[in-house]
Chain A
Amino acid sequence: MKKYPPQYLFFIFVLLINFAFCQDNNSDGHQLQITIPDVALISVHNNNSAINLKGNEITEAGKKLTFNSPDNSTWINYSSIIGSKNESHRFVSLEISEGEVPDGLNLLVTASKDAGKGNGEMGVPIESNQILDEAPIKIIKNIGSCYTGVGVNNGTNIKYELVLNDKVDSYSKLNFNQSQTISLTYTLSDN
């Protein structure tokens, strides 16, 4: 085998070092991470501590009991970031979590369109009267990634209305001892 003089070996060594340094060239890069979290937050706003729905005083004998006009002082706000894989849409449901609606009466709920103070996919409110019950009912469907803004006059306005129910004997069931305080719970959940 032919032996190379050390000069050549060194020359090759210098070349290799040169190649190593050449990696520091006219371009460079780095990584950049962007993360998006899961968000599902909801709150209820009302300037009054409680909503008071009551029968109007009857001033003339023989007149029917009516109830004070619907209350629409309640607003719900929410922030949502959905995921295309498992949580493609969310909905807001409402249920009576404590107490009972007095006999002969129905408590109705209507959700109105979003006030337009936020941004994103706010969902579709169910604008017809629905009867509240202990079982949750959907009041806003198809919520995507969005935020409504914070406080009253932001998000969705909720209307509550107390009416006599459709049953024939509803009026006869009215009973002044049955004045009730009931709790309502709103939930923002995944489809």
Chain B
Amino acid sequence: MKILTILLSLVVFVVKGQSNEASRYATFKLKEIALLNIEPSNTSVILNLESPKLPGEKMTTKAVNNTKWINFTSSLTNKSSSRNISIKIEDGEIPPGILLKIKTDSYQGNGKGKLGSNSNIITLSKKSQTIVSDIGGAYTGHGLYNGYKLTYLLDIDNYKLLNMDNSETLTISLTLTDF
């Protein structure tokens, strides 16, 4: 009964509100939107250096789970011309001797609009770097296989700095920004 009262009140409220606005204004406003999320969410990217099989061999890198997808929705106002997606290491340190790289594939999926263009492979750091540029009004579609596919890679940069006590968990952040 209570719910019914609330719902009825809502109808009254909405109808009242709409009629007020309609009578006074004739403008229709589109909001500026910048939404981004990573799929699959709540899973860690896991990159392991693996012990060689034969003595004398180099360590190999093994990716247990190293791909993510970026979904976004963007609409712009006249003021801003385009947007970028930037990436950085938010928290944690890359173990010494290792380079963490990211490959951004070109857009895939069933979205529409000015979806932007991907950058080459970059080496991640604490500094923000652009991986997708020139995004206009667009949506990528939702979930896996929609948007930009990211692939994380490890490279050994300085072998003698590798240290088994330096295993690390990092936090990576991605942001859809104004140009």
* A positions within 8 Å CB-CB of B: 5-7, 9-11, 24-39, 41-43, 77-79, 81-85, 87, 118-121, 144-151, 154-155
5 additional contacts, CB 8 Å, given A32-B100, A41-B52? A25-B36, A28-B173, A33-B168, A34-B168, A77-B54
Range of interface residues on B (Cβ < 8 Å): 35 or more
Determine if B56 and A32 form an interchain contact, defined as CB atoms under 8 angstroms apart. Answer: no
A14 nearest in chain B by CB position? B10
Query: B173: which A residues are within 8 A, CB to CB?
Result: 27-29
Residues of A within 8 A of B90 (CB): 29
- Contact with A82, one of B100, B163, B170 (Cβ below 8 angstroms): B163
Assess whether B37 is in contact with A28, with CB atoms less than 8 Å apart: yes
Q: How far is the CA of A144 from the CA of B158 in the complex (A)?
A: 12
- Is B6 an interface residue, CB under 8 A from the partner? yes
Chain A residues within an 8 Å CB radius of B171: 29-32
Interface residues of B in 158-172 (CB under 8 A from A): 159-172
Given known pairs A79-B57, A151-B56, the reply for A30 and B36 (CB within 8 Å) is no
Shortest beta-carbon distance from A13 to chain B in Å: 9
CA distance A127 to B164 in the complex (A): 30
Interface pairs (9), CB distance under 8 Å: A6-B5, A27-B173, A30-B172, A31-B172, A34-B168, A36-B166, A42-B55, A81-B163, A120-B159
**Cα(A26)–Cα(B37), bound, Å:** 8
Within B1-51, the residues touching A (CB, 8 Å) are: 5-6, 9-10, 12-13, 34-38, 41-51
Partner of A147, one of B41, B52, B98, B176: B52
- Please, which residues of chain B bring their CB within 8 A of the CB of A145? 97, 159-163
The answer to whether B164 and A38 have CB atoms under 8 Å apart is yes
State which of A30, A33, A37 has its C-beta within 8 Å of the C-beta of B38: A30
- Using A85-B165, A155-B56 as known contacts, say yes or no to A34 and B154 having CB atoms under 8 A apart: yes
Partner of A11, one of B13, B51, B54, B164: B13
Q: Which of B46, B51, B177 contacts A33 (CB 8 A)?
A: B46
Report the bound CA distance from A82 to B169 in whole Å: 20
Distance (Å) between the CB of B75 and the closest chain A CB? Answer: 12
* B45 & A31 in contact (Cβ 8 Å cutoff): yes
Binary contact track B49-72/A, C-beta < 8 Å → 1, others 0? 111101111110000000010000
For the complex formed, measure the closest distance between the CB of B126 and the CB atoms of chain A, giving whole angstroms. Answer: 14
The one of B9, B58, B167 that contacts A36, using a Cβ cutoff of 8 Å? B167
Q: Chain A residues with Cβ under 8 A from B56's Cβ?
A: 41, 43, 77-79, 118, 147-151, 154-155
Contacts of B138 in A (CB 8 A): none
**CB distance B50 to A37 under 8 Å?**
yes
Complex: A46 Cα to B49 Cα, angstroms:
30
Q: How far is the CA of A32 from the CA of B100 in the complex (A)?
A: 10
B56 to chain A, nearest CB (A): 3
Q: Given B43, B55, B162, which contacts A77 in the complex, CB threshold below 8 Å?
A: B55
- Are A32's CB and B6's CB within 8 A? no
* Chain B positions 90 through 113: 1 when the CB is less than 8 Å from some CB of chain A, otherwise 0: 100011011010000000000000
B133: Cβ under 8 A from any A Cβ: no
